[in-house]
Structure 1
């Protein structure tokens, strides 16, 4: 969070079709070699929502923003995508996080943690008793956040990706949603 931006009244809600432009911009602005396995998006940009990425798969954090400019108001500070990992009935008790992004102006304000907790609550509401995710091995900040929220490393696919001239591990993490 920059010194000129203050967050107030953070709330979590399901994404809406009207959020597409803001979420697409957030997704592009947070692209990083720390977590991306696909090349940086280039114009013309693909739609954020498509047949595999529906609004109902996303939770967003909205924050009241007080800025040094005239940009005060409610803005989307981050999103998380929560989906069943497979269409199999025998796997219906699991939800998987398949994307998390926090706007640069909202970092350090607990938005990522808020999204993780909201995803766990939503997964429980959907009847899941387990939640999983995948994270690149070199993404130390994300791995620390996940561990602090009860996720444990359950497997490592060594050298799964070749990114920017080096092999990178794919780390599988998960946790129980039991009370």
Structure 2
């Protein structure tokens, strides 16, 4: 699979991204106890198409990254956070996740952010390795922050400067 096209999300991506969210749900990376339901909207008023970039291959969405402000505080406006990243099974290991992370970093810079952060569950070593290879460093760990899949897991805080 060649490197996917990365583009801004559009309102008509709703169904494809909701399906992708359901198909990629796993307790390895998700704190919700179950995948989103078939009628649960993907886009929300606080998290619409403008908060997402889509990885597309052969006209089909194979991944997305969600980029949001971590808080509404003006003193925190210089930081953007990756608040979700999903890649379809058939696109994993083929550069879609890396392309989405790089696009999120570029988009954060374009929006004037000075830092970009994320949170990842400790057992998700594939994602942690990807983020580290793209310049993100562990900036903190919240031990046993979530109870997922019958066990307590650490929440790993990662970030990087955009300067």
How does the TM-score come out when normalised to structure 1?
A: 0.88
The equivalent residue for 2:105 is 120
Structure 2 CA distance, aligned partners of 1:121 and 1:42?
29
Select the structure of larger CA radius of gyration.
1
Query: 1:115 and 1:43, CA in 2 relative to 1: closer, same or farther beyond 3 A?
Result: closer
Q: Which residue of 2 aligns with 1:149?
A: 134
Q: Which runs of 4+ in 1 moved over 4 A?
A: none
Q: What displacement does 1:8 show?
A: 3.6
- Structure 1: runs of 5+ lacking an equivalent: 1-6, 65-73
Aligned partner of 1:54 in structure 2 is 48
Match of 1:87 in 2: 72
| Structure 2: gaps of 5 or more residues | none
1:28 to 9, 22, 27: 22
1:9: how far off? Answer: 5.9
- The two structures, once aligned, show a CA RMSD in angstroms of 1.2
Q: How many residues align?
A: 163
Q: Secondary structure at the match of 1:53?
A: coil
Distance 2:37 2:106 in 1: 36
Q: Hey, what's the Cα distance between the residues in 2 that align with 1:37 and 1:56?
A: 24
Q: Distance in 1 between matches of 2:45 and 2:36?
A: 21
